[in-house]
């Protein structure tokens, strides 16, 4: 029905996928899926000075890992490619020339040094820092002469000098900017690459983008963009500027105050399900109180109208809670598979499937991100280490009695069910007349390495009879 709706996610490859960008991508994705439109990925790699080797691959991988599939983009060519701006420079040049010919753009030969100096003086004089437009006045022959001499130049847009522009943002109704606040934007840099503003407008038009959904940091650039649409005589897309994601101190979410790279979260064992769910709720909320959603459910619920206007603090505590929830409630096999890599990294042997499964069943209740699952499982591998205090507890008569009793009983059989172990717990406690803490603490400590923890039956179920017995023997006093 809305097959003509086309949205895009247009990151620049400067390192990693930021969680803020993830949210932008997600909202674009959700909207496209909701209305049956197309979701396009375009790489905005026009700044070669900030380009980071490998970051495109990284970005594609992260998008894939998180489960956001695009309809057109790198490695998935559609009708409107290429989807790398660096491969479209001829196009931008063509359109920039067109603007020059129309008289709405001009060559500017001002050096960076000159511009920096101008800006500093303007600030010192309490003027608005702005290009003074000196190259606007150059005649055609002056321009040609400078070009012939090999002077480097940029192409600037001739922004109207007075009046104002009003446009409609899907979130905030009317927004008005006075033109004298808008600078003569550089369209083509001296290295022959376009700036964001030109490339973005040209590509959005050529790629038939109908809705631009992006971060609020672009709101004040809208006048430039709309002016470009006007002088090209193109129909502008609808615009929607998302509120920013914030640090706890309310500044723009940044690396300095914690993780912001999606891949880092993924590596730490935050599940894609969590990240999607959590980030979706930062600045958007469906009707009602529900907050746990799968991607598919989000698509069903999503509506641009319910996006908030105010910035949202990225609260790691709530992320942790949600991730812990998913770790506990998603399919066990899924968590088992996702956890494997952490055990491998730690060099722990998980070749015994049954044992490994039991460990995950136990440990998933106690972690909020998967890389922590190792700390919760260590005690089932290798030898336990005990403090002096632990050893004092072991050497108590009652402790020794418990250990001897259990070694003897356990050795009667090779396979023990949970129920049998629980019965043995009861029986031994009664027969030895040792109860509560005095009974459980030494036993659990000897088997598990901590006096607090799961049921004895769970511990022995994971360790197996042989390991359990050998751990108990280890705590028997020599005399």
Show which residues are catalytic. Answer: 255
* Binding to RNA in span 13-42, by CB under 7 A: none
Stretch that binds RNA, among 140-148, 229-237, 305-313, 391-399 (CB under 7 A): 305-313
By CB under 7 A, residue 321 contacts RNA: yes
Residues 199 and 204: their CA atoms lie apart, in Å, by: 8
Among 34, 93, 130, 401, binds RNA (CB under 7 A): 130
By CB under 7 A, residue 47 contacts RNA: yes
Residues 9 and 25: their CA atoms lie apart, in Å, by: 5
By CB under 7 A, residue 128 contacts RNA: yes
User: Least distance (Å) from RNA to the CB of residue 1?
Assistant: 25
Cα end-to-end span (Å), the chain: 84
Is beta strand 312-313 parallel, antiparallel or unpaired with respect to 245-246? Answer: parallel
Q: 266 or 281: whose CB is closer to RNA?
A: 281
By CB under 7 A, residue 306 contacts RNA: yes
Residues 387 and 367: their CA atoms lie apart, in Å, by: 25
Q: 115 or 348: whose CB is closer to RNA?
A: 115
Residues 2 and 130: their CA atoms lie apart, in Å, by: 42
Among 112, 117, 300, 340, binds RNA (CB under 7 A): 112
Q: Among candidates 441, 35, 465, which has minimal Cα distance to 238?
A: 35
Among 158, 211, 358, 444, binds RNA (CB under 7 A): 444
User: Least distance (Å) from RNA to the CB of residue 3?
Assistant: 28
How many chain residues are in contact with RNA, going by CB under 7 A?
Answer: 88
Strand, coil or helix: 284: strand
Strand, coil or helix: 8: strand
By CB under 7 A, residue 91 contacts RNA: no
* Binding to RNA in span 153-192, by CB under 7 A: 154, 171-172, 174-178, 181, 183, 186, 189-191
Max CA distance (Å), the chain: 108
Among 136, 146, 325, 357, binds RNA (CB under 7 A): 325
* Binding to RNA in span 353-412, by CB under 7 A: 365-366
User: Least distance (Å) from RNA to the CB of residue 337?
Assistant: 21
User: Least distance (Å) from RNA to the CB of residue 478?
Assistant: 27
Among 453, 462, 468, 472, binds RNA (CB under 7 A): 453
By CB under 7 A, residue 259 contacts RNA: no
Helix (H) or strand (E) holding 224: helix 222-232
By CB under 7 A, residue 119 contacts RNA: yes
By CB under 7 A, residue 311 contacts RNA: yes
Q: How far, in Å, are 105, 138, 147, 158, 279 from residue 151 at the CA level?
A: 18, 14, 6, 21, 48
Q: 256 or 353: whose CB is closer to RNA?
A: 256
Cβ count within 10 A of residue 370: 24
Stretch that binds RNA, among 52-60, 307-315, 334-342, 344-352 (CB under 7 A): 307-315
* Binding to RNA in span 262-291, by CB under 7 A: 281-285, 287-289, 291
* Binding to RNA in span 235-254, by CB under 7 A: 243-244, 246, 248-252
- Here the contacts of 227-235 (C-beta below 8 Å, separation 24 or greater) are 227/157, 227/159, 227/160, 227/165, 227/182, 228/157, 228/197, 228/198, 228/201, 229/201, 229/205, 231/99, 231/102, 231/104, 232/95, 232/98, 232/99, 232/201, 232/205, 234/201, 234/205
By CB under 7 A, residue 454 contacts RNA: yes
* Buried/exposed 310-338: b ≥16 CB within 10 Å, e otherwise: ebbebeeeebbebbbbbbeeeeeeebbeb
């Amino acid at each position: 029905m809305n097959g003509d709706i086309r949205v895009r996610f247009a990151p620049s490859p400067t390192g990693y996928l930021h969680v803020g960008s993830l949210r932008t991508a997600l909202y674009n994705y959700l909207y496209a899926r909701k209305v049956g439109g197309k979701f396009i990925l375009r790489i905005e790699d026009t700044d070669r000075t900030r380009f980071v080797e490998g970051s495109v691959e990284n970005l594609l991988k992260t998008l894939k890992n998180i489960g956001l599939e695009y309809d057109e983009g790198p490695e998935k060519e559609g009708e409107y490619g290429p989807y790398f701006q660096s491969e479209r420079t001829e196009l931008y040049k063509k359109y920039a020339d067109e603007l020059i010919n129309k008289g709405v753009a001009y060559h500017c030969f001002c050096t960076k040094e000159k511009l920096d100096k101008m800006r500093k003086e303007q600030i010192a004089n309490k003027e608005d820092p702005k290009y003074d437009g000196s190259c606007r006045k150059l005649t055609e022959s002056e321009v040609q002469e400078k070009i012939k001499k090999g002077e480097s130049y940029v192409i600037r847009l001739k922004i109207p000098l007075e009046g104002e522009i009003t446009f409609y943002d899907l979130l905030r109704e009317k927004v008005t900017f006075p033109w004298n606040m808008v600078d003569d934007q550089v369209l083509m840099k001296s290295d022959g690459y376009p700036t964001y503003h030109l490339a973005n407008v040209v590509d959005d038009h050529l790629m038939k983008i109908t809705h631009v959904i992006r971060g609020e940091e672009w709101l004040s650039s809208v006048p430039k963009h709309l002016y470009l649409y006007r002088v090209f005589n193109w129909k502008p897309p609808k615009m929607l500027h998302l509120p920013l994601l914030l640090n706890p101190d309310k500044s723009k979410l940044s690396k300095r105050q914690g993780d912001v790279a999606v891949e880092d979260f993924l590596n730490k064992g935050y599940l894609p399900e969590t990240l999607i769910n959590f980030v979706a709720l930062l600045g958007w909320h469906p009707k009602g109180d529900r907050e746990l959603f799968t991607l598919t459910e989000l698509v069903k619920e999503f509506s641009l109208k319910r996006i908030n206007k105010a910035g949202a603090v990225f609260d790691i505590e709530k992320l942790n809670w949600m991730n812990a929830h998913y770790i506990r409630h998603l399919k066990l096999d899924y968590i088992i598979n996702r956890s494997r890599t952490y055990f491998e990294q730690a060099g722990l042997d998980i070749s015994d499937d049954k044992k490994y499964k039991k460990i995950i069943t136990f440990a998933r209740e106690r972690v909020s991100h998967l890389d922590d699952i190792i700390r919760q499982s260590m005690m089932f591998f290798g030898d336990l280490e005990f403090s002096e205090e632990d050893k004092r507890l072991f050497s108590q008569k009652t402790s020794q009695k418990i250990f001897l009793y259990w070694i003897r009983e356990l050795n009667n059989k090779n396979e023990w069910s949970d129920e049998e172990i629980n019965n043995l717990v009861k029986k031994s406690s009664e027969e030895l007349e040792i109860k509560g803490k005095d009974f459980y603490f030494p036993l659990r400590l000897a088997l598990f390495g901590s006096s607090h923890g799961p049921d004895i039956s769970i511990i022995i179920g994971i360790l197996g009879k042989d390991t359990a017995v050998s751990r108990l023997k280890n705590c028997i006093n020599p005399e």
